[in-house]
Amino acid sequence: MKDREELVKQPKFSIIVPVYKVEEYLQVCVDSLLAQEEYKDQMEILLIDDGSPDKSGELCDRLAEAHKQIKAFHKPNGGLSSARNYGLDRATGEYVLFVDSDDVMESDTLKKITEALDQFGEADAVFFDGVEDDGVHQDPMRRVPLEQMQCADNGKQYLLEHFRDRNLNVEACLYAYRRAFLNEQNLRFREGILHEDVEFTPRIMMQCGKVVELPDRLYHYLVRENSISTQKNKEKNIRDLFQTLREQDQMAEHQEPELKKWMKNAILDSYLNMVQTARMYQKQYRKLLDKRFLLGKAVTNWNRFRVLVCLINVRLYCFMNDCYKKL
């Protein structure tokens, strides 16, 4: 067993890892976190066993015994948001990151974040890019690559820039947040819903101060066979996203005109993408589609055209999008 000397009173980073049925992936994930060599004594890793029925919980305990940086917690199953919130309530680091237990981080992630903070000063949020890795291809998660570090004065400016270029990444795993900011504003993940990151990130950014962006691809999101088309709870998936988008539409009403316009266009993007992904021309899902919600939101000509086709025929709209993606 390694010497369990005390960490510094407040580590620089808290890495929160919800754990559920991942016994075959967790070790690789944790190894990637422990590979942050320069920051081993400036970080804590919180493994949150969310009532996992396999041996993931036992592995969490073994890892905590073996590494001073790791703390293992066990709680009844409550879902991803519940586990993240549980970790947030117990984190002590200056900045918090969220890592899915079957994903990995590059070994210089914490170094890159620290360098960005040294250059731009204290920030409420730091964004970094990642890749979607299906074992064969690695596709960047950011739609338009960033060439160098940049900084937005506040979260609303950050949202406007990214809504305008259709390039907002909502994945919580691509951000480091200043913990004091989250606590001062009492910001937590909404529990009991799917698409929690879609709900969380814009809401948090509305209250954010400085946001720093890194061009580096530091996170590997491992794609597995759990897409919406194969999930048993497909209807809940659709309902939760549409409810979140309706709430964001109301939030947009209270913003400055430019942010309001582009936020509504982004909401429309998300709604139309779900229509296509979920194949909502199928009889069992037609009742969930509110075509009135599509009206009055399009800014770009492409979105106006998409809305028109969807209003005319949903099946044709899905076919058109399939063809477009193959171009």
Answer yes or no: is 277 within a domain: yes
Mapped onto helix, strand or coil, the DSSP state of residue 303 is helix
Of 175, 193, 222, the position where a domain reaches its end is 222
- Please say whether the beta carbons of 212 and 127 come within 8 A: yes
Assess whether 214 and 243 both reside in one domain. no
Assess whether 168 and 244 both reside in one domain. no
Answer yes or no: is 227 within a domain: no
Answer yes or no: is 2 within a domain: no
Assess whether 127 and 106 both reside in one domain. yes
pTM (2 decimals)?
0.92
Answer yes or no: is 4 within a domain: no
Torsion of CA 318, 322, 323, 325, to 10 degrees: 130
Assess whether 78 and 145 both reside in one domain. yes
Assess whether 146 and 28 both reside in one domain. yes
Mapped onto helix, strand or coil, the DSSP state of residue 323 is helix
Assess whether 163 and 50 both reside in one domain. yes
Closest CA to 173 of 151, 201, 150: 201
What span, in angstroms and rounded, lies between the C-alpha atoms of 186 and 180?
9
- Please say whether the beta carbons of 78 and 71 come within 8 A: no
Of 165, 192, 222, the position where a domain reaches its end is 222
Question: What does each of the 327 residues of the chain score in pLDDT, given as a tens digit?
Answer: 444 444 447 899 999 999 999 999 999 999 999 999 899 999 999 999 999 999 999 999 999 999 999 999 999 999 999 999 999 999 999 999 999 999 999 999 999 999 999 999 999 999 999 999 887 888 889 888 888 999 999 999 999 999 999 999 999 999 999 999 999 999 999 999 999 999 999 999 999 999 999 999 999 998 876 544 345 588 999 999 999 999 999 999 999 999 999 999 999 999 999 999 999 999 999 999 999 999 999 999 999 999 999 999 999 999 998 888 777
Assess whether 291 and 162 both reside in one domain. no
Assess whether 310 and 262 both reside in one domain. yes
What span, in angstroms and rounded, lies between the C-alpha atoms of 175 and 153?
16
Q: Helices 155-164 and 257-277: crossing angle, nearest 10°?
A: 50
Pairing mode of beta strands 211-222, 150-152 = antiparallel
Assess whether 212 and 241 both reside in one domain. no
In this structure, what CATH number is given to the domain that contains residue 94? 3.90.550.10
Domain range for 97: 13-222
Amino acid at 51: G
Answer yes or no: is 289 within a domain: yes
Closest CA to 114 of 97, 130, 100: 97
